[in-house]
C-alpha cells in the first residue's frame, strides 16, 4: 500500500504545474482584456508592446515549470544569436512539448513575448487560450485543399503594418511524428516516393504552403529563418526502436532528462522564392534533420548516440527569468480567490471568456 502511494504521488507531480498554469489563465485574461479595452483608441503598436510584455510574464511562468521545476538539461547546438530578430522558426514536430522548445530558445534571446504560432484550425476552440493566441498574432490554418492562403497573408501583413516583432513558429510536417501510428509515417513516405522526393525515416514529409506564404509575405521584414531540430533523450526502447516523445504530462513528471536542440540560422537570400523551388528546398532541410536524427538515434558507434554532431552548450535558465512571473501571477490569482466577489469574477471569466472567445474566432479567425 505504501508503495502504491509513493507511485501515485510520483505520477501526480504534474498536478501542481498544471493547476498553476491553468489556474492563472483567468487572471491573465482579465489583465489582457483590461489593456485591450484601454488601448482601443491607441495605435496598434502600443497595444502590441504591452501585449508582448504580458505574454512574456505568462510564458516565463510556464518555463519555470518546464525548466526549473523539471530540472531538464537543455543542450543547444549550432548558432543561436544572442540578440532578438524577426524570424520564422521551422521545426520537426513530435509532441506537445515542441511548442515549449520555441519558448526555451526565445527567452534566451529576450524575445519570449514575440513568439507567435501557426496553429491547426481546431486549436482555436481551446477555452480562453484559443482566442488569445489569435489575438496575440497567431495564425490558424486548415490543412490541404482547405488552406486559406489569402487569410494568412492578410493577417501577417496586418502584423507587419503594426510593426509587430515576429518569432513565427511553424511545424511544416502538419502533424506529429508518432511511431505508434505507423500508417501516418507510411503514407508520408509513400507520398514522398510518388513525388520523387527522398524518403525520410525520423520526420514526416514537410508541407510547404504555410512556410511559403509566411516567407513570401514577410521577406522584407524578416532577418532570418531558424531551422530547428529537436530530440528528446530517452525516447528509444530496449530494442533500439524509437518510441513516442514525452507528452507535457510526462515532461512535467521529469521523465525527460535532456532535450537536444540543433539550430541552423539561414539567411533569406539562401531560400528560393517560388513555391515549387521552395518545396524542394524545404524537403532538403528535412533531409538534413533526418540525418541528424539518424545519427542521434541509430549511430553504430554508441558513443555518438544521444547527441548531435558539433559543439554544444548546456544552457541553464536562471530563476531570475521565471520565478518573479510565477510569484506575480500566482499572487494575483490567490488574492482573487480569497474573496467571494473575486471567486465569482474568476468563474465568470472562465465561462464568459470561453463563450466570447469561441464566438470571436468563429467570426474572425
Give pLDDT tens digits for 1-49: 444 544 445 557 888 899 999 999 999 999 999 999 988 888 878 889 9
Give pLDDT tens digits for 112-164: 999 999 999 888 999 999 999 999 999 999 877 678 889 999 999 999 988 89
201 pLDDT band, cuts 50/70/90, is very high
* Cβ within 8 Å of residue 126, ≥6 positions away: 133
Task: Summarize the confidence of residues 193-205 as an average pLDDT.
Answer: 94
pLDDT at 10: 53
pLDDT at 6: 43
pLDDT at 43: 80
pLDDT at 336 over 60: yes
pLDDT at 310 over 70: yes
Q: How many CB atoms lie within 10 A of CB 257?
A: 13
* Domain extent at residue 146: 1-364
Question: What does the DSSP 8-state code read for residue 197?
Answer: P
pLDDT at 273: 92
75 pLDDT band, cuts 50/70/90, is very high
78 sits in the region (left: phi over 0; alpha: psi -120 to 50; else beta) called left
**d(C-alpha 171, C-alpha 225), whole Å:** 13
Q: Per DSSP, which regions of the chain are E strands?
A: 73-78, 87-91, 115-120, 139-141, 167-170, 224-232, 258-266, 312-315
Q: Tally the domains of the chain.
A: 1
Pick the more confident residue, 46 or 86: 86
How many CA within 13 A on the CB side of residue 225? 24
Give pLDDT tens digits for 246-255: 999 999 988 8
**d(C-alpha 119, C-alpha 126), whole Å:** 12
The burial class, CB within 10 Å (0-12 / 13-18 / 19+), for 200 is: buried
pLDDT at 240 over 80: no
Task: Summarize the confidence of residues 100-114 as an average pLDDT.
Answer: 96
pLDDT at 11: 58
Pick the more confident residue, 161 or 230: 230
State the sign of the Cα–Cα–Cα–Cα dihedral 11, 15, 16, 20.
positive
Cα angle: 135, vertex 48, 220; to 5 degrees: 95
pLDDT at 303: 78
How many CA within 13 A on the CB side of residue 283? 19
90 pLDDT band, cuts 50/70/90, is very high
Amino acid at each position: 500500500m505504501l508503495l502504491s502511494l509513493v507511485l501515485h504521488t510520483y505520477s501526480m507531480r504534474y498536478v501542481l504545474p498544471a493547476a498553476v498554469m491553468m489556474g492563472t489563465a483567468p487572471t491573465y485574461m482579465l489583465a489582457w482584456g483590461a489593456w485591450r479595452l484601454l488601448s482601443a483608441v491607441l495605435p496598434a503598436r502600443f497595444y502590441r508592446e504591452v501585449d508582448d510584455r504580458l505574454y512574456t510574464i505568462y510564458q516565463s511562468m510556464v518555463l519555470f515549470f518546464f525548466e526549473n521545476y523539471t530540472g531538464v538539461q537543455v543542450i543547444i547546438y549550432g548558432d543561436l544569436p544572442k540578440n532578438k530578430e524577426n524570424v520564422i522558426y521551422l521545426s520537426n514536430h513530435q509532441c506537445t512539448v515542441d511548442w515549449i522548445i520555441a519558448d526555451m530558445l526565445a527567452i534566451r534571446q529576450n524575445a519570449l513575448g514575440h513568439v507567435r504560432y501557426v496553429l491547426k484550425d481546431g486549436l482555436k476552440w481551446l477555452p480562453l487560450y484559443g482566442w488569445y493566441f489569435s489575438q496575440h498574432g497567431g495564425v490558424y490554418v486548415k490543412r490541404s485543399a482547405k488552406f486559406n492562403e489569402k487569410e494568412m497573408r492578410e493577417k501577417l501583413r496586418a502584423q507587419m503594418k503594426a510593426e509587430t516583432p515576429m518569432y513565427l513558429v511553424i511545424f511544416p510536417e502538419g502533424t506529429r511524428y508518432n511511431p505508434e501510428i505507423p500508417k501516418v509515417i507510411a503514407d508520408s513516405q509513400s507520398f514522398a516516393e510518388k513525388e520523387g522526393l527522398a524518403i525520410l525515416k525520423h520526420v514526416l514529409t514537410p508541407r510547404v504552403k504555410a512556410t511559403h506564404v509566411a516567407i513570401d509575405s514577410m521577406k522584407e521584414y524578416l532577418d532570418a529563418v531558424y531551422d530547428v531540430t529537436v530530440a528528446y533523450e530517452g525516447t528509444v526502447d530496449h530494442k533500439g526502436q524509437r518510441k513516442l516523445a514525452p507528452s507535457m504530462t510526462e515532461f512535467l513528471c521529469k521523465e525527460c532528462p535532456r532535450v537536444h536542440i540543433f539550430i541552423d540560422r539561414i539567411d533569406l537570400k539562401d531560400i528560393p522564392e517560388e513555391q515549387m523551388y521552395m518545396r524542394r528546398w524545404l524537403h532538403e532541410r528535412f533531409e538534413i534533420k533526418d540525418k541528424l536524427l539518424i545519427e542521434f538515434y541509430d549511430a553504430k558507434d554508441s558513443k555518438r548516440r544521444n547527441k548531435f554532431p558539433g559543439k554544444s552548450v548546456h544552457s541553464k535558465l536562471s530563476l531570475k527569468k521565471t520565478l518573479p512571473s510565477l510569484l506575480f501571477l500566482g499572487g494575483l490569482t490567490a488574492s482573487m480567490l480569497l474573496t467571494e466577489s473575486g471567486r465569482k469574477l474568476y468563474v465568470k471569466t472562465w465561462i464568459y471568456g470561453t463563450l466570447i472567445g469561441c464566438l470571436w474566432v468563429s467570426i474572425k479567425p
